[in-house]
């Protein structure tokens, strides 16, 4: 499969990529999914509880991702482990180069690489990654059992992380730069009722300090919050660095594409969190994948 000219090469094995794979496979196209590494199915693997995917209330994110993957595998979808780092248009195909040196050729690309955790960019953050600074409460929360932690951010990720940590930690501070939270009002209300959670709003982190590991978070207003863990949940950035000059990106680096997945470049489609859209959720990623595969199939038919 890897050495043949593919109909569809999908970059990324999150919900968008796997949904695209299923639709492409069912359209009888030759399809391969390239993934950076297999560590669960993208970002959802980090979610303790996905409560808004229709028909699956309270589903663990990792389990939901595994169910998506098992579905794709059942249909015979194959995977290649590698990090795509450049795309070049040839007369009859796209040549995709991988960091490891491998090259794959495909008539179309569906790019579903998603987004990565944004960093705060404050002193101490990079130094203490893995020593008290984390970007995934579900992955690392257990290391802070019985300790004091801070979650930085005011979106759904930060709120969900705080709720998750409140079950494990002695105390959880939520540090948010504004008064109003961006995330769900229902979760905010739930957190206000949680005894060991303290919300510190209109507060901007200045520095993470420690010795071997993190001991405190300093705020710009001069306060020092003693914590062993700082969970940074301040949003995501699209993983589009290999796409400079390949397709149009918006000012924030997202691929400009509507729900059809069609980009500025013929034969190159985008789906999931990586494209311009209002709502980045599992349900919209899955929908994007289906649409992008359908667009790719229509493109291939037209090119015949
Ligand atoms: P987000 O909604 O973009 O929120 C990021 C938060 O971080 C905002 O509150 C923002 O503050 C704050 N922030 C950004 N840069 C900062 C900085 N440099 N310093 C301090 N604070 C900073 O990101 P997200 O929470 O990761 O959510 C992303 C998407 O996934 C959203 O659509 C969300 O609804 C969705 N999601 C859904 C679920 C669920 O439904 N179960 C769970 C997780 C995420 P401001 O508010 O001031 O901008």
pLDDT of residue 1 exceeding 80, the answer is no
Compute the distance from residue 9 Cα to the ligand 1 centre, in Å: 31
Q: What is the pLDDT of residues 229-244, one digit of tens each?
A: 999 999 999 999 999 9
Percent of the chain predicted with pLDDT > 70: 98
The mean predicted confidence, pLDDT, of the chain is 95
pLDDT of residue 18 exceeding 80, the answer is yes
pLDDT of residue 28 exceeding 90, the answer is yes
d(CA 108, CA 86): 14
pLDDT of residue 39 exceeding 90, the answer is no
Q: What is the pLDDT of residues 104-113, one digit of tens each?
A: 999 999 999 9
CA dist list (Å): 128 to 68, 139, 172, 258: 34, 16, 19, 39
Q: What is the pLDDT of residues 5-15, one digit of tens each?
A: 999 999 999 99
Beta partners for residue 161, in sequence order: none
Q: What is the pLDDT of residues 142-158, one digit of tens each?
A: 999 999 999 999 999 99
Q: What is the pLDDT of residues 123-182, one digit of tens each?
A: 999 999 989 999 989 888 999 999 999 999 999 999 999 999 999 999 999 999 999 999
Q: What is the pLDDT of residues 277-299, one digit of tens each?
A: 988 889 999 999 999 999 999 99
The answer to whether the CB of 177 is under 6 A from ligand 1 is yes
Task: Looking at the CA of residue 204, tell me the nearest atom of ligand 1.
Answer: 20
Percent of the chain predicted with pLDDT > 90: 87
What mean pLDDT do residues 38-65 have?
A: 83
What mean pLDDT do residues 78-106 have?
A: 96
CA nearest ligand 1 atom 2, residue: 155
SS3 146: coil
Residues 276 and 94: beta-carbon distance below 8 Å: no
Compute the distance from residue 233 Cα to the ligand 1 centre, in Å: 7
Enzyme catalytic residues:
136, 139-140
Task: Name the pLDDT band for 52 (thresholds 50, 70, 90).
Answer: confident
Pocket test for ligand 1, best of 155, 182, 274, 275 (most atoms within 8 A of CB): 155
d(CA 71, CA 62): 14
Compute the distance from residue 44 Cα to the ligand 1 centre, in Å: 15
pTM metric for this prediction? 0.81
Residues 119 and 208: beta-carbon distance below 8 Å: no
What mean pLDDT do residues 258-268 have?
A: 98
User: Residue 197: which of 226, 164, 173 has the closest Cα?
Assistant: 173
Q: What is the pLDDT of residues 198-220, one digit of tens each?
A: 999 999 999 999 999 999 999 99
Task: Name the pLDDT band for 40 (thresholds 50, 70, 90).
Answer: low
> What is the per-residue pLDDT for 41?
66
């Amino acid at each position: 499969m890897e050495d043949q000219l593919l109909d569809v090469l999908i970059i990324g094995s999150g919900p968008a990529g796997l949904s695209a794979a299923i639709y492409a496979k069912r359209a009888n196209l030759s399809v391969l999914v390239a993934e950076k590494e297999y560590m669960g199915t993208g970002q959802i693997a980090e979610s303790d509880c996905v409560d808004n995917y229709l028909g699956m209330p309270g589903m663990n994110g990792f389990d939901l991702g595994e169910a998506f993957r098992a579905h794709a595998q059942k249909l015979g979808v194959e995977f290649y482990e590698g990090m795509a780092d450049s795309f070049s248009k040839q007369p009859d195909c796209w040549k995709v180069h991988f960091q490891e040196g491998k090259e794959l050729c495909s008539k179309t690309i569906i790019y579903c690489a998603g987004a990565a955790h944004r960093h705060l960019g404050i002193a101490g953050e990079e130094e203490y990654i893995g020593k008290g600074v984390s970007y995934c409460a579900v992955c690392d929360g257990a290391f802070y059992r019985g300790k004091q932690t801070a979650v930085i951010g005011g979106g759904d990720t930060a709120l969900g992380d705080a709720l998750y940590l409140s079950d494990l930690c002695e105390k959880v501070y939520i540090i948010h730069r504004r008064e109003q939270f961006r995330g769900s009002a229902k979760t905010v209300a739930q957190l206000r009722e949680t005894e060991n959670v303290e919300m510190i709003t209109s507060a901007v982190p200045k520095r993470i300090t420690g010795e071997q590991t993190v001991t405190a978070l300093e705020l710009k207003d001069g306060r020092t919050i003693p914590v062993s863990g700082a969970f940074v949940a301040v949003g995501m950035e699209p993983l589009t660095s290999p796409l400079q000059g390949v397709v149009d990106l918006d000012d924030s680096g997202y691929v400009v594409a509507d729900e059809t997945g069609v980009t500025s470049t013929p034969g190159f489609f985008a789906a999931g969190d990586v494209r311009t859209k209002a709502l980045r959720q599992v349900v919209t990623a899955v929908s994007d994948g289906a649409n992008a595969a359908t667009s790719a199939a229509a493109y291939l038919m037209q090119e015949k």
